[in-house]
């Protein structure tokens, strides 16, 4: 009989971060929070977006009162050029408020400017251990392998409060009718922040068995600012501690992707997913499902993982998997059957496993999603997002 123990960590890239451990508070609870969003922009904003609990002002040397709002949103360029504003927003984070930066930035840029990693400490009550999950950029100069650049998000928002919607990452692609990318204005950005806050206020509480922290990470395509298509992702990170192996710990990720058509005449015709084990000291083991053109799609990781699941998908799309143990990568290409599309209510559930040398501080995997959208006669646009999921011993 195996003496191993499985621990599960999950991040809802659109819904919920779930742990089998108890979350530890990251800040001193300041008590009841004020409601309202302070949105700073030098642009005119569509009045239909504004609400009574939203204050819209032009950036100035007069900073808002920290105690008047529950969240603040600033253009990343303003934050970069204003040390006083950076200090104010750092203080807002430590006070429990939510801070959004917008205008094109990676998670690493958010951490750099506000001195706050997108990190989530979790505590194993039985073993008394504290771990950290994080989404960040990776210093590739010290990794020994070439990774994709992490995607610049249109919006990154974060709060230290252990509440629904504590983190928001949105990659927004605004386009004209020909699929050409056009600027994303302040009205679109404010609208997306409002939609995020509305979604997170409606989250159904998790079961009593597990704690949950909500994360909202989306890739959205818009036609002149009107949402038409999106990718929504949820992942679960599994860690199995094999007591017979003192050097390595064993990890697996379940990557859950939903492709959603909101409007318009385009349809999703291809999904490419890549999992790249980040650190050279770690070893890729395997990925699943393999090549298959009908469901149910079975995923299984044998000893020491003891993990398995399955999923079905309407239309039985074709799945083609390429594994490379030399580069520690798995790559899936998923296409629909004839006259079918990939968008819908079903979800793809793809898995990758690896072993990590526990004498080092971090392990992790880079996740990349690309969905192709076509009109009746041509490829119109792609929605893509690349981000890094890390674990800290």
Give the model's pLDDT for residue 102: 98
Q: Is residue 133 part of a domain?
A: yes
Instruction: Answer whether 175's CB lies under 8 Å from 182's CB.
Output: yes
Q: Is residue 43 part of a domain?
A: no
Is the per-residue pLDDT at 7 higher than 70?
Answer: no
Number of independent structural domains in the chain: 1
* φ and ψ of 178, to 5 deg: -100, 5
The mean predicted confidence, pLDDT, of the chain is 83
> Cα–Cα distances in Å, from 306 out to 199, 302, 355?
35, 5, 14
For 230, other C-beta atoms within 10 Å of its C-beta total 22
For residues 347, 199, 70, 56, the Cα torsion angle rounded to the nearest 10 degrees is 110
Predicted model pTM: 0.84
Q: Is residue 88 part of a domain?
A: no
Q: What confidence tier does 345 reach under pLDDT thresholds 50, 70, 90?
A: very high
For 60, other C-beta atoms within 10 Å of its C-beta total 9
* Most confident region among 33-47, 162-176, 266-280 by mean pLDDT: 266-280
Give the model's pLDDT for residue 50: 67
190: domain range?
Answer: 5-21+109-392
Q: Is residue 73 part of a domain?
A: no
Is the per-residue pLDDT at 336 higher than 60?
Answer: yes
> Cα–Cα distances in Å, from 312 out to 60, 297, 315?
53, 6, 9
Q: Is residue 80 part of a domain?
A: no
Q: Is residue 39 part of a domain?
A: no
């Amino acid at each position: 009989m195996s003496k191993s123990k499985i621990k599960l960590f999950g991040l809802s890239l659109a819904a919920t971060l779930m742990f089998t451990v108890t979350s530890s508070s990251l800040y001193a609870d300041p008590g009841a929070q004020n409601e309202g969003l302070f949105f700073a922009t030098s642009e005119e904003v569509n009045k239909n977006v504004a609400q009574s609990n939203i204050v819209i002002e032009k950036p100035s040397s007069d900073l808002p009162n920290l105690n008047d709002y529950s969240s603040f949103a600033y253009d990343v360029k303003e934050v970069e050029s204003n040390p006083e504003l950076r200090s104010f927003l750092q203080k807002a984070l430590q006070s429990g408020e939510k801070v959004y930066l917008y205008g094109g930035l990676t998670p690493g840029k958010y951490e750099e400017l506000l001195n706050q990693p997108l990190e989530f400490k979790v505590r194993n009550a039985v073993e008394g251990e504290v771990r950290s999950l994080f989404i960040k950029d990776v210093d590739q100069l010290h990794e020994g392998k070439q990774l994709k650049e992490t995607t610049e998000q249109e919006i990154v928002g974060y709060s230290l409060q252990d509440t629904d919607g504590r983190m928001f990452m949105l990659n927004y692609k605004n386009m004209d009718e020909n699929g050409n990318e056009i600027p994303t204005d302040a009205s679109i950005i404010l609208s997306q922040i409002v939609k995020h806050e509305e979604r997170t206020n409606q989250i159904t509480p998790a079961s009593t068995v597990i704690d949950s922290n909500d994360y909202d990470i989306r890739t959205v395509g818009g036609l002149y600012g009107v949402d038409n298509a999106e990718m929504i992702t949820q992942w679960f990170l599994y860690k199995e501690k094999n007591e017979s192996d003192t050097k390595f710990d064993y990890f697996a990720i379940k990557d859950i992707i939903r492709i959603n058509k909101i409007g318009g005449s385009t349809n999703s015709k291809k999904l490419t997913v890549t999992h790249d084990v980040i650190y050279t000291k770690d070893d890729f083991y395997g990925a699943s499902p393999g090549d298959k053109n009908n469901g149910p799609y079975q995923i299984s990781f044998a000893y020491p993982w003891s993990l398995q699941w399955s999923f079905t998908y309407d239309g039985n799309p074709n799945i083609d998997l390429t594994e490379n143990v030399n580069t520690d990568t798995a790559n899936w290409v998923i296409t629909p059957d004839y006259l079918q599309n990939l968008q819908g209510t079903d979800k793809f559930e793809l898995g990758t496993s690896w072993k990590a040398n526990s004498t080092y501080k971090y392990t992790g995997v880079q996740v990349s999603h690309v969905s192709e959208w076509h009109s009746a006669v041509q490829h119109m646009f792609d929605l893509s997002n690349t981000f890094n999921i890390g674990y800290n011993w």
